[in-house]
Amino acid sequence: MGCGRNNRTLCWVFILFLCDCCVAQISYSVSEEVDKGTVVGNLAKDLNVNARDLQARNLNIVSGYSKKYFEANFKTGDLYVNERIDREELCPNTIKCTLKLEAILSNPMVLHRIEVVVTDLNDNAPTFVERSHSLNISELSPTGEHFLLPMALDADMGSNSVKTYRLSPNEYFSLDVQNGGEHSVSAELVLLKALDREKQALITLILTAVDGGKPPKTGTLKINVNVLDVNDNTPSFSKTLYKARVNENAPAGSSVIQLSATDLDEGDNGRLTYSFVKRANFNPSDVFLINAETGEITVKGDLDFEAQPAYEIHVQATDKGSSPRRANGKLLVEVIDVNDNAPEIVVTSLMNPVKEDADIGSVVALVTVTDKDGGKNGQTNCKLIGSAPFKLTSNYKNYYSLVVDGPLDREGCSVYNVTITATDEGTPPLSSTSIITVHVSDANDNAPRFMQPVINIYVKENSAVGASIYTITAVDPDINENARVTYSLLGDSKTIPITSVVNINSETGDVISLQSFNFEELKTFQFKVQAKDSGVPPLSSNVTVNVFILDENDNNPAVLAPYSEHGSVNSESIPYSAEAGYFVAKIRAVDADSGYNALLSYHLSEPKGNNLFRIGTSTGEIRTKRRMSDNDLKTHPLVVLVSDNGEPSLSATVSIDVVVVESTADIQTQFRHVPVKEDSFSDLNLYLLIAIVSVSAIFLLSLISLIAVKCHRTDGSFSRYSAPMITTHPDGSWSYSKATQQYDVCFSSDTLKSDMVVFPAPFPPGDAELISINGGDTYTRTQTLPNKEKVSCLPPKN
């Protein structure tokens, strides 16, 4: 087995458990604290080995201690001390201290156990845990009584430990040393003579602990014996009778007299406490206070000469001994008469609470003022303090009435604290104050009040039936029944029976929908709500409620004729010689929704690999992208997807088969206008002129109708049903609406693409957005100012 230099010792220890060699044991003895190099024994001799062979056989001393206390001399074979040996450190509280070593020889391997016994030196003196120790012993303790003393500690063991105790000479105590065996020696004080505290209150002794070393070492402890006093003296007052005078108006805490008593004893036996002695039915503690420590008597309660002009008080002084002793004394207190009785105010309520509509002069309470003093000290004046809608009227002498002196308003002030002051004519004058709390009861003088003059409610169409769409709240500054508000619907709307549309919770004011609203059929309606309190008689107020239905995207786009037949495939023809941009067909669609939900866009789907046609996203016009080629098909099936701009978007599709023909003579369609450049006035020009005149006439009629509607429209007129309106945009797109609204009308100057553009004005009030569709098949939004009717003209873009 190979081991490194640093682990050689561990390897040898490991060998001790693995090798099966012959083992022998050698014993040595060494005293602690010997010098380094002290020879313990000769290993060569004891191991029966030649000293010259020790190094050759690699003698090694192994131990399990943190320090290498012993080492071997290879030349002489001696085992010597290598480190300081402290027996108390190595073997604390142990009688025998033994160090275990192993001597290992190689070639052949031999293991020898070595036992080194460390003998103790008397190098530690006895010590006590505390420097001084106190004993409290009563002067009545009997002779022969034992008192246990603290033990001394000695780090040495055996004969060098504590063996006995000695006591300094004195006339009161002796020492009883008890030997409990090899490990413990204790000592007790024994009282030899009775103690007398008056002769000597403190006795100081010295206790000495002696160990068994040679020479012996000692340790000392100071013992203080405190002689406790016995209560053998009675307290004594300085006077047999004390006299004092005090004004009957003396405030609480005023000093009356200072008592004094003494006791010859000390400590608690001489410390006195003062107290009153209750006699018959009179307890002085009800009127006076006595300081238990100082004996000072002060005023506690009210002193009234008229009730009792003098007090005879018995006092007692008691010491704090275990068997207390006491002394009794007497005190006469004379009360000096003064004007010490303030007027007394007695209030008898007649009407509390007082109704807020009480008449002026109504009696609220009766007030009586009395004073126990006589003469001028008993004559009083009474008045009100502060401002309040009340006053005092004198009935007879010191009898008054508190009456209403002004209008009362509970909502302004529901509680009045009326302060009444009565003052006598004594010197100095005394006064008293009484506060009468007058509550004002409610009268139903306030009608319920709504927070808004008009309430606007916005409800999405298709909302759930039975849902609460708004909570109407009215407040009533009255209280209780006068403020309990109930709600009800008043009458019907001008267009619909309101009770079939909404209902209102009479207690909470929650407005409940009774049907699911359809924006396309009903956009707004109006009704009134009445809030009525429960007073007698009840008061009420009304509020107008406008309900605006908000559009939801719930209608699919509808394709107009001639492509409107569901499931059919439409056919269009184009000539083989058609140029790029050739007009094929125009898809028109409408959406029953409004706003962005009715803003339509068109998308074209062609067979894979065919890229011949395009469609205007906003116009729906299908045109060719390029000229025909021989590789193109003769029939092109197209699918047009029409989508609105709602969330989520709804759509419709239409299928068109475009057939390529050889000449224009084979083309049959009623919606196509082929531009022909002619110098003369042709039939096409005639048709264009008729179209321009027709569009202009329609525009003028629409403008006149719009002005007429604006002039005759009122805020309360709401139409439930209206004729549908189809609106064309400057780029050819159409929109559809059934609502009767305000419109902004624009007209384009482009003769070929002039369509009437109708934009609904902002309603309900709020910020509006103007939608502009340009020729590039895109649309933009323009924010307009709220609640302003504004006409904007959007010229079409090429």
Q: What is the pLDDT of residues 388-436, one digit of tens each?
A: 899 999 888 889 999 999 998 888 898 999 999 999 988 889 899 999 9
pLDDT of residue 206: 94
Mean pLDDT value of segment 752-758? 37
Residues near 384 by beta carbon (within 8 Å), at least 6 away in sequence:
390, 391, 392, 418, 419, 420, 421
Peptide bond into 251 cis (omega under 30): no
Contact 509, 475 (CB under 8 A): no
- Write the pLDDT tens digit of every residue in 506-539: 999 999 999 888 888 888 999 999 999 998 899 9
Q: Residue 277 — φ and ψ, nearest 5°?
A: -115, 120
Residues near 601 by beta carbon (within 8 Å), at least 6 away in sequence:
617, 618, 642, 643, 644, 645
Mean pLDDT value of segment 315-320? 93
pLDDT of residue 777: 42
Query: Residue 576: pLDDT above 50?
Result: yes
The whole-angstrom separation of Cα 356 and Cα 354 is 6
- Write the pLDDT tens digit of every residue in 371-384: 887 667 788 899 99
Q: Which two tokens stand for residue 83?
A: 């480190």
Mean pLDDT value of segment 592-618? 85
pLDDT of residue 162: 85
Query: Residue 647: pLDDT above 90?
Result: no
pLDDT confidence of 51, banded at 50, 70, 90?
confident
pLDDT of residue 128: 92
Q: Which of 119-123, 224-228, 356-360, 750-754 has the lowest mean pLDDT?
A: 750-754
pLDDT of residue 2: 40
Identify which of 1, 114, 119 has the alpha carbon closest to the alpha carbon of residue 63.
Answer: 114
Which amino acid makes up residue 595?
A: G
The whole-angstrom separation of Cα 524 and Cα 719 is 8
Q: Which two tokens stand for residue 401?
A: 């009435």
Higher per-residue pLDDT: 776 or 701: 701
Q: Which of 22-36, 593-607, 647-661 has the lowest mean pLDDT?
A: 22-36
Residues near 465 by beta carbon (within 8 Å), at least 6 away in sequence:
513, 514, 515, 516
- DSSP-derived 3-state class of residue 782: strand
pLDDT of residue 425: 86
Best-predicted range by mean pLDDT (106-120, 128-142, 766-780): 128-142
pLDDT confidence of 694, banded at 50, 70, 90?
confident
Distances (CA, A) of 451 to 96, 474, 475, 526, 543: 102, 7, 8, 18, 10
Query: Residue 331: pLDDT above 90?
Result: yes
Query: Residue 789: pLDDT above 50?
Result: no
Higher per-residue pLDDT: 85 or 253: 253
Long-range contacts, stretch 176-185, CB < 8 angstroms, 24+ apart:
176/146, 182/95, 182/158, 184/151, 185/151
pLDDT of residue 475: 93
Query: Residue 96: pLDDT above 60?
Result: yes
Higher per-residue pLDDT: 498 or 663: 498
Mean pLDDT value of segment 335-339? 80
Q: Which two tokens stand for residue 199?
A: 């002769």
Higher per-residue pLDDT: 63 or 672: 63
Identify which of 165, 191, 168 has the alpha carbon closest to the alpha carbon of residue 178.
Answer: 165
The whole-angstrom separation of Cα 517 and Cα 501 is 9
pLDDT of residue 797: 38
Query: Residue 280: pLDDT above 90?
Result: no
pLDDT of residue 256: 94
Q: What percent of the chain has pLDDT over 90?
A: 29
Strands, E, within 248-307: which ranges? 255-258, 261-262, 272-277, 288-290, 296-299
pLDDT confidence of 668, banded at 50, 70, 90?
low
Q: What percent of the chain has pLDDT over 70?
A: 82
Higher per-residue pLDDT: 450 or 49: 450
pLDDT of residue 765: 39
Query: Residue 629: pLDDT above 60?
Result: yes
Query: Residue 753: pLDDT above 60?
Result: no
Higher per-residue pLDDT: 62 or 753: 62
The whole-angstrom separation of Cα 704 and Cα 597 is 29
Query: Residue 209: pLDDT above 70?
Result: yes
Contact 491, 498 (CB under 8 A): yes
- Write down the mean pLDDT value for the chain: 80
End-to-end CA distance of the chain: 103
Query: Residue 721: pLDDT above 50?
Result: no
pLDDT of residue 433: 93
